[in-house]
Amino acid sequence: MAVYTDINEVELAAFLQEYRLGEMMSYKGIAEGSENSNFFLHTTVGTYILTLYERRVEVADLPFFLGLMQHLAQNGISCPLPVERRDGRLIGELAGRPAAIITFLEGVWVRRPTPAHCRAVGAALAALHLAGADFPLGRNNALSVDGWKRLWLQARPRADTFQAGLVEEIDAEFAAFERDWPSDLPSGIIHADLFPDNVFFLGDRLSGLIDFYFACNDIFAYDVATCLNAWCFEKDDAFNVTKGQAFLAGYQSVRRLEAAEREALPLLARGAALRFMLTRLYDWLTIPDGALVQKRDPSEFIRRLRFHRHVRAISEYGLGAS
């Protein structure tokens, strides 16, 4: 579930007085998501999303996240738009949490993406990379190699209780990343979490991107690698090269990958798989059963990591040689 902080009608009505959104008609908690408390909010003006930012989100990062959504929307990217308060600010406080109201985006996320969905996502991701070029704020990726290492050091003592031999395997991955992780590839604003539940569709038409709360400055091709992990594997963890080809073709229809980016893609995909495995493993080992935070099985990303480790040619992702 994704309502960690509950709210009542009286405090929400008072909160709404700081906006020009009319009177509250109804609100309802949203079950999906894993980081913040989210509510559908219906007022006499329209429908919105109310978000209360929980402790995993740094308050100091909120101007970056919300400002980025404004910037992208103004530069042709379909995404939710933060609503300004009467005082011009985007962030208020509700139930002791930083809170914001975001415009409602029509559409649904697809549970079983097709190649057509994948192609649309690739084009949208490339457009986001280009649109973020002149965004004036920056944010380091807290979940790049150094961040993974901190998570791993906390999970490592118990990792073999989850899967035998995992400590030796992941130690070897970190040795490879510390030796080979690229530092000179094209970079800028990336989404960093563009999984299917963060992309809305109306039929086969992509209607918008949501959830920019992992967005940061990093390597564009790492964002591409994250999407290969998120969109192109089937339920049995087999990589679907047709989906990979469609996604990469969509991306390159907007922004062409450089030769060095293409060469680095298998290593970056290993890193992206490790990143999501580690956050899941950390939660799996440290969060008690019955806690509100959703615990997800790390195993699928262990299997995806192993797939990427054995990729010998970019054609295995559906990418041509030129």
Query: For the chain, where are the alpha helices, taking DSSP H only?
Result: 9-16, 62-74, 115-131, 145-162, 166-180, 220-231, 241-252, 259-286, 299-309
Distance of alpha carbon 79 from alpha carbon 104, whole angstroms: 9
Provide φ and ψ at 44, rounded to 5°.
Answer: -70, -10
Considering the chain, tell me which residue range(s) the CATH 3.90.1200.10 domain(s) occupy: 115-317
The CATH code for residues 9-103 is 3.30.200.20
For the record, the structure tokens of 161 come out as 């209780």
* Arch. (CATH architecture) of 115-317: Alpha-Beta Complex (3.90)
Residue 207 is given by DSSP the state: E
Mean pLDDT, the chain, rounded, equals 93
Contact of 273 with 229, CB cutoff 8 Å: yes
Q: How confident is the model at residue 37 (pLDDT cuts 50, 70, 90)?
A: confident
**Residue 138: CB atoms within 10 Å:** 10
CB 300 within 8 A of CB 237: yes
- pTM, whole model, 2 decimals? 0.92
Element (H, E) at 131: helix 115-131
How many helices (H) and strands (E) would you count in the chain? 9, 9
pLDDT band at 1 (very low <50, low <70, confident <90, very high): very low
Q: What is the DSSP string of 97-117?
A: EEEEEEE----B--SS--HHH
User: Residue 185 — pLDDT band, cuts 50, 70, 90?
Assistant: very high
Intervals of CATH 3.30.200.20 along the chain: 9-103
Q: What is the pLDDT of residues 214-262, one digit of tens each?
A: 999 999 999 999 999 999 999 999 999 999 999 999 999 999 999 999 9
Written as six digits, the tokens of 154 are 């906390």
CA distance 249 to 122: 7
